[in-house]
Chains A and B, each alone.
Chain A
Amino acid sequence: MDFTEFDRGSKDECLLTVLVSVDNQDTAQELVAEAFARAWASWRTVSRHPAPTAWVVRTALNANISRWRRHRREVSVPDPGTVADPPAIDRADSSVDPRIMAALMRLPTRQRQVVALRLFLDLDTDRSAEVLGIAPGTVQAHLGRAIAALRKDLIPERQKEIPS
C-alpha cells in the first residue's frame, strides 16, 4: 500500500478517533499529523502491520501522553482580549452531529476510546484491546456499556423529532 493512499483514506477516521480521546481538535490534528509522520518514517514496518490505522492511533495517543508529561506542570493562562476557542465539535472544519458528539463526550474516556476504535476505525475486539492495552473481554464490556449509555442519551431525543 502506498503511504499517500493510506494517508488520504485513513487520516479523517484517525483524527476522529483521537479527537474523542483528547477533546481538542487542534491537539488532535497535531497528534495525528505527528503519528502519520512517524508512520511515513517507518513505513516499511507500518505498511506490513495488520492494522496500520491502529498503529497510527496508538502512536498519537502515546504522543499525547508524552505531551501531557512535558506540560503537566505548566499552568495555561488565557490571553486577555482574546476569545476562547469554540468547542471542538463546533469547529468549522467538522460537520459532526453535535448531539451525538456531546453524548460521546459524556462517556468515560475508556468507553469513548472503545467506541472510536470499534465504530470509527472498524477494528475488531482483539485489535482494539491491543491498542488500548486491555483485555478483549474488557473491550466488549466497555462497548456494551457505551452503547447502552448512548441509546439512553440519544434515542429519546431522536424520537422527539418524529412528528406525531
Chain B
Amino acid sequence: MNDELIMAVREQRNKVHMNTPVEHIISRGRAVRARRRIPGMAGALAVAAVAAFGVTALLPASHQPGHRPGAQLAAWTVAKQADGTVYVTIRELRDPAGLQSKLRADGIPASVIFGVPPNAQPNPCQSYGGGPELLQKVFTLLAPPGRPQGTLDRHGHPPLGPTEWRGCADHQQPVPRRRPHGDDEPRMHRQLNPPTN
C-alpha cells in the first residue's frame, strides 16, 4: 500500500512544468557571473594604482644628492618572502620597466613610473587608500637618520628621503611591520599576494 502511495506521489513530478526558457536562465547567469567579477577586477586595479602612485611619489627623494646607500648596490631589489609578501627596496630611480616586469612576474599587477607626470601635484597629506600596512608590504622603507626603520607618517606615507620627510607632523609612532592574517584582513592586503597554483 505504501508503494502505491509513494508511486502516486512520485508521479506528480511529471505534471509540473517550468516554462522559463534556458536562454533566459543563461542570460541571467551571465549577469550573475559579471557581477561576481567586479570586486576582483576593482581590487586588482586598485592595487596597481596604489603601487604606481607609491612608486611615483618616491621620486623627489631619490634625487637628493649624497644620500644613496652605496654605488655597489642595485637600483632596486625585489625580495619575495615565503608567505608571498613581496618587499621592494628602491635606491635609485632607474630601470622602471625592469622593476615592473619583475613585480608582474611575482604576481603584482603594478605599473612602475619613475617620473612625475605633467601637471601632477602629489598631495603629501593624501592617503594612499590601501593603508600603511599595504605600503609596508610593498616597500622596504629607508628611514632618515634619527628615525626608526620602517616608519610611516600618520597618513600612511613612507619617509621620502633622509632630508625630506614629507608629512604632516606627528610621525613619531612606528607602524607595526606586519599584522597577523585574519578574517578582518582588508581585501587590499590580500591582493598583493600572488595567486598560488
Contact = CB atoms under 8 A, between A and B. Distances in A.
Interface of A: 3-4, 7-8, 11-16, 19, 29, 32-34, 36-41, 93-97, 100-101, 104, 115, 119-120, 147, 150-151, 154-155
B16 A96 contact: yes
A79 to B, nearest CB: 24
Interface of B: 1-2, 5-6, 8-20, 22, 24-26, 28-33, 36
A37 B16 contact: no
Nearest to A88: B16
A39 to B, nearest CB: 8
A96 B12 contact: yes
A8 B22 contact: yes
A114 to B, nearest CB: 12
A104 B16 contact: no
User: Per DSSP, are chain B's interface residues mostly helix, strand or loop, or mixed?
Assistant: helix
Given A104-B9, A151-B2, A29 B29 contact: no
A40 B6 contact: no
A34 B28 contact: yes
User: Per DSSP, are chain A's interface residues mostly helix, strand or loop, or mixed?
Assistant: helix
Contacts of B20: 11, 29, 32-33, 36
B29 A38 contact: yes
Given A16-B16, A32-B18, A94-B17, A100 B8 contact: yes
A52 to B, nearest CB: 14
A34 B29 CA distance: 8
Contact of B36 (A37, A41, A94, A115): A41
Given A16-B12, A19-B16, A120-B12, A147 B28 contact: no
Contacts of A100: 8-9, 12
